[in-house]
Structure 1
Amino acid sequence: MAGILIIAHAPLATALRECIAHIYGGCPARIGALDVLPDSDPAEVVAKANSEIERLREDNGALVLTDMFGATPSNIAARLATVPEVRVLAGVNLPMLVRAVCYRATPLDTLVEKALAGASKGVQTIGPTMPPAAAAASECGCPPTPCAEGAADVTKHTASQVANQAAGESASQPAAATRSAACTGGVAAGVFRPAGTT
């Protein structure tokens, strides 16, 4: 299980770790938080961050999540990117963190991919502007497409497949594969499994 260290402007790091404890009914092991205060001495915070990484790092390494690229916390986190088996991601949000916790047992590069996917898929439009055609979940259980352009792309892609099949050509991507591409391992995008499950 990879260790996870959150480095962010105070009190965000601690708040994100508390959110994970709320979601899981207790904080999973090897998740650290380092809040950077406005008057923090960066050299001291770097030293704390290095000792936290040594404490949290596991066989498959550690993942460092920081809030805003270019700010002091991310500059501190960037110092850890040179440590072997440590990866650093900026732009942490709760979906990224939940996804990272869920996939801690995977190889570090896979963990990075899953965390980044969680961060981007977690940003959605919610509201009455969703088109009626997108209101129902797809056959794979994925959430509805959040915009008309996305629904139009799927319709256009499906029509293209039908035309290709009618012409005797092999479609480049069957409709079922298109639906499952929006899902991760049979779990709807944005739905996360508890840690330790596949």
Structure 2
Amino acid sequence: MIIVTAALKGGVGKTTTSVYLAALASSNRRTATLVDADPQGSAADWIDASDDGHLDRIEIAEAPTERLLSKALDKVPPEGIGIVDMPPSHERLLNKALERARIVVIPTRVGGVETPRVKAVLELVPDGVPSGVVICSARTYTRAYQDLMEQYAKEGIPVWGSIPERVSITAGPDGPLAADGLEAYKKVWRKILAAART
């Protein structure tokens, strides 16, 4: 199962989402492959630098080009799980990943320019591939958040989860995965598994 974490804008929580989902995918003695397609290599650095036991079973493949991305995805075994952390603003590489996607996760934040960019990604997702939005750094008590949720509901855009705004969740290699982050992403993971079964 190939899960692509996609957004056309940076700073929306793609790498955080990819790492937490890889941690959940690799639980229960499974191994997950985290394919870091971002030239910055933030996901790979996070896994390499962390001593968090949640990340022990994650294999890293750095794949910042179309050729390397194809090779990395070919190595994910049929019964395995590959999670692809995409770079922002690289539509051609994103399209390459989407050709292989079983599931697409679209991290975003609450804000004026975010919704059109979510829709732009959704337009790229091939027909029949389940996709859902994850709202990162969410302040669920705000009017802006509630308005966004209403808008997505009205437009039929599935929201698979909201990740609360916590410094500990976005700490990266500087700290262990946050318990509340794992709990919030577990809800997203359940939606992914449900979508994969349909």
Give the TM-score range, shorter chain: 0.3 to 0.5
Larger radius of gyration: 1
Which structure would you say has the larger RCO, counting Cα contacts within 8 Å and 6 or more residues apart?
A: 2
